[in-house]
Structure 1
Amino acid sequence: MPELPEVEALALDLRSRLADRAITKVHVAAFSALKTFDPPLSALEGTLVGDVTRHGKFLDLDASGLHLVLHLARAGWVRWRDEVPTIPPKPSTKSTLAVRIVLDDQSGLDITEAGTRKSLAMYVVRDPLDVPGIASLGPDPLTDDFTPAVLRGILEREGRKQVKGVLRHQGTIAGIGNAYSDEILHAARMSPYKPASSITDDDLAVLYAAIRDTVGAAVDRSRGLAASELKGEKKSHLAVHGRTGQPCPVCGDTVREVSFADSSLQYCPTCQTGGKPLADRRMSRLLK
C-alpha cells in the first residue's frame, strides 16, 4: 500500500509532468472507483493542471480550481504513459486499469489496481475537504504543528488501544500505514501491542523521534524518483516489515510475524518485546 513517503514522491513526480498541461479526457474503466457525481467527470475536460499535492495518503490534482483526488488504497498505483491508446478502455474484470487520464499531447496516466479487492477511489470535488477521508485526517507527522505535545495528546485520548493501531489510524495521524508503523515501532524498540496511554515521557520522546526520522528519511530517499522506482526503493530499506524469517538488521534475531484476518505485522522480539514472541492468534486457532 502506498503510504506517505511514496505518495509524497508521486505528487512531486506528477507535478513536474502535469503542470500546465490540459486534461482532455478522464476514462473510468472500473466504475466502482468513481465516488462522486457533482461536479461531473466531464467538468475536467479542458482544465489545466496547476499543482499536484498530497493530503495524508490522498493525491490531489488541482485542475483549474477543480480537484481530482485519488486514494490508491492497498493495491493501487499510478503509471505514466508517454502515449496513451487512442481507443478508450473498456470495462473488464480481467484488467487492472481503473482510470485513465489523457493529456493534450496524448500522454497521460493509468491508475491501476491489482487483485480482486477493489478499494481504489477517485473523487472530483471543488474543495479537497469535500472528500470525507481528507476532512477526517489527523495531523501530518512531518509538519511543524505535529509536536511531542500533540503526540502526547493523541496517546492519552486513545487510552488502552495498541500503539500499532494508533499509528495506522488515518483520523489520528495522517499518512502512516502498515509498513511504516512496523518500521517506526522497530526504530523505537517498542512492542506493537503496547497500550498508548502507558507510554512514558521518555518513551514518548523516543517514539516521536522514530516517527519523524523514519518517515522523513523515507521521503528524502524517495524524492526525485520516478513512480516506477518507488516500490523497489521502499522495499529495499525496510528493517522488519515484509521480512518474516529474516535476521533483524540491528540485533540479528529472527523477524517474527503476527497475522490477522486481512493484514499482518512484523517485529523483532529482541529489539521490541524483551525476547518474547507475540501470540499469533490466527495460527493458534488453526492449531487447535
Structure 2
Amino acid sequence: MPELPEVTALAADLDRRLRRHVIDRLSIMAFSALKTFDPPADALQGLEVHGVSRHGKFLDIAAGDLHLIVHLARAGWIRWRDTPPPASGARPGKGPLAARLLLDDGTGIDITEAGTKKSLAIYVVHDPSEVPGIERLGPDPLSPEFTREAFASILAAQGRAQIKGVLRNQSVVAGIGNAYSDEILHVAKMSPYKPADMGPDDVTRLYDAVQSTLRDALARADGLAASELKGEKKSNLRVHGRTGEPCPVCGDTIRQVIFHDSTFQYCPTCQTGGKPLSDRVLSRLLK
C-alpha cells in the first residue's frame, strides 16, 4: 500500500506531468471504484489541471473548480501513459484497470488495482473535504503544527490503545500505514503492543523516529517516477516484509504477527526485550 512518502512523490511526479494540461476525458472501467455521482465523471472534460497534491494517503488532482480524488488502498497504483490507448480501448470490468485519465495531447494515467479484493476509491468533488476519509483525517506528521508536544497530547488521548494501531489510524495521524509504522517502531526500539500513553522520554524517542523515518523515505523518493517508487520503498525497508531475515541492527531474526487481514514485522531483540510476541494464528496452528 502506498503511504505518505510514496503518495507525496506520486503527487509531485503527477503535478509535473499534468499541470497546465486540459483533461480530455476520465473513463471509469471499474464502476464500483467511483464513489460519487454528482458532479459526474465527465464534468472533468475540458478542465485545465492546475495542481496535484496530497491529503494523508489521498491524491488530489485539481482541475478547474473540481477535484479528482484517488485513494489507492492496498493494491492500487498509477501508471503513466506516453501514448494514446489502442482504438479498441479497454473493456470495463476486465483486468486491473480501474480508470483512465487522458489529456489533450494523448498522454495520461491509468489507475489500476491488482488482486480480487477491490478497495480503490475515486471521487469527483467540488471540495476535498466532501470526501469522508479526508474530512476525518488527523494531523499530517510532517506539518509544522505536528510538534513533539502535539504528538504527546495525541498519544495521551489514546490511553491504553496499542501504539501500532494508533500510528496506523488515519483519524489520529494521517499518512502512516502498516509498513512505515513497522519501520518507525523498529527505529524507536518500541514494541508494537506498547500502550500509546507513555512517558516523556518514550514520546520523544517515538516522535524522533516518526520524523526521521518519514523524512528519510521522502528524500529517497524525491524526483522518482511512479514506476520506480515501489522498488525504492521495498529495498529500503528494515523489518517490514522481511520475516525470517536478520535484523540490520542486531542480527536477530525478524518475526511477524499475523492477523486476519494483515501482518506486521518486528525485531524481538530491538523492540521486545528478546521475547517473541504472541501470534494468534500460529498459536492456533500449533494446537
> For 1:103-122, what aligned pairs fall within 5 Å after superposition?
103-122=103-122
Q: Distance in 1 between matches of 2:88 and 2:53?
A: 30
Q: Which residue of 2 aligns with 1:139?
A: 139
Contact 1:240 1:266 in 2 (8 A): yes
| Residue 256 in structure 1 maps to residue 255 in structure 2 | yes
Checking the alignment, whether the CA contact within 8 Å between 1:102 and 1:108 is kept in structure 2 is yes
1:155 is aligned to 155
Q: Which amino acid aligns with 1:230?
A: L
Q: How does 1:213-252 map to 2 (within 5 A)?
A: 213-252=212-251
The one-letter code matched in structure 2 to 1:170 is Q
Q: Distance in 2 between matches of 1:277 and 1:287?
A: 15
The 1-side partners of 2:172 and 2:15 are apart by 28
Q: How many residues align?
A: 286
When normalised by structure 1's length, the TM-score is 0.98
Match of 1:2 in 2: 2
Q: Which amino acid aligns with 1:7?
A: V
Q: CA deviation at 1:67?
A: 0.1
Matches of 2:207 and 2:88, distance apart in 1: 50
Question: Tell me, what secondary structure is at the counterpart of 1:196?
Answer: coil
User: In the aligned structure 2, how far is the partner of 1:286 from the partner of 1:30?
Assistant: 38
CA offsets per residue over residues 78-105 of structure 1, 9 Å max, x none? 0001013134421134x00000001111
3-state DSSP of counterpart to 1:270: helix
Which ranges in structure 2 are unaligned for 5 or more consecutive residues? none
The answer as to whether partners of 1:27 and 1:88 remain within 8 angstroms in 2 is no
Q: Deviations over 1:157-213 (max 9, x none)?
A: 11111000000000000000000000000000000000111x110010000000011
**Deviations 1:2-29 (Å, cap 9, x if unpaired)?**
0000000000000000010011111111
Q: Could you tell me which amino acid in structure 1 is paired with residue 178 of structure 2? A: N
1:26 counterpart = 2:32:
no
The alignment's C-alpha RMSD in Å is 0.7
SS of residue paired to 1:110: strand
Supply the AA of the counterpart residue of 2:147: T
Which residue of structure 1 aligns with residue 285 of structure 2? 286
CA separation in 1, counterparts of 2:30 and 2:84? 17
Q: TM-score, normalised by structure 2?
A: 0.98
> SS in structure 2 opposite 1:26?
strand
Post-superposition shift, 1:238? 0.5
Counterpart in 1 of 2:124? Answer: 124
DSSP 3-state at the match of 2:234: helix
Using the aligned pairs only, state the percent identity: 64
For the 8 Å contact 1:27–1:89, the answer to whether it is kept is: no
How far did residue 109 of structure 1 move?
0.3
One-letter code aligned to 1:203: D
Q: What secondary structure is seen at the aligned counterpart in 2 of 1:54?
A: strand
- 2: distance between equivalents of 1:98 and 1:92? 8
CA distance in 2, matches of 1:69, 1:91: 20
Structure 1 residue runs of 5 or longer lacking an equivalent are none
Q: Is contact 1:129-1:135 (8 Å) kept?
A: yes
